[in-house]
Amino acid sequence: MNLWELFVIAVGVSIDAFAVSVCKGLSVGKPRPKHAFIVGAYFGGFQMLMPLIGYLIGQQFYKLIAALDHWVAFGLLLLIGGKMILEARDGCERVSSSFSLNEMIPLAIATSIDALVIGLTFAMINVRIVPAITFIGATTFTIAATGLFLGYKIGTRFHSKAEIAGGIALILIGVNILQEHLRGFA
């Protein structure tokens, strides 16, 4: 996997965190830098943790599905991308203005489930996991922190477009993985 593909995946899985951060920005009033750090740390941290868990699970089952790994990776990315496109229709759900542990943990888990599946995909295509999750975590941190301030400034105007773009990008990466594998057999 090249750096460009990793960047697209990092942005793609960060879109849910961005959307929630935009909603947080709308609900909190005027966000402070500490709020941006909190959303960045929660969302970025879980976007690092979940692919690692998925990767470790995928490593355990890799031998069972090695012959189909490219199809599994394609299918998972297609499902995640399609889900993101469908979810783009939803508006900004009411999000609490609280940054408490009880509020942020469920949001961080909910926005990082897709990253768990990405971790499974990474195991199938032998991605170096530590640099990948570090990059994804840093990207999500930045996108979530920025989303908080953007939510305060401009609201949800661009939320659905970003989610659609992220979904399409993940689907295209899945197609590329499948195409590269099938080209190897041609």
Report, as an integer, the average pLDDT of 73-94.
66
pLDDT digits (tens, 9 = 90+) for 32-78: 999 999 999 999 999 999 999 999 998 887 767 666 666 766 776 67
Per residue in 132-176, pLDDT tens?
999 999 999 999 999 888 877 775 556 566 667 666 766 776 677
Helix residue ranges, H only, the chain: 3-28, 33-65, 69-87, 101-124, 129-154, 159-185
Q: Are 115 and 76 in contact (CB under 8 A)?
A: no
Instruction: Give CA separation, 122 vs 55, 92, 118, 173, 177, in Å.
Output: 6, 31, 6, 12, 11
Query: pTM, whole model, 2 decimals?
Result: 0.72
110 against 149, higher pLDDT: 149
Q: Where are the domains of the chain?
A: 3-185
Per-residue tokens: 7 = 């960047």
Determine the average pLDDT of the residues in 76-97: 66
Q: Using N-to-C axis directions, what is the helix angle for 33-65 and 69-87, rounded to 10°?
A: 150
Question: In one letter, which amino acid is 145?
Answer: A
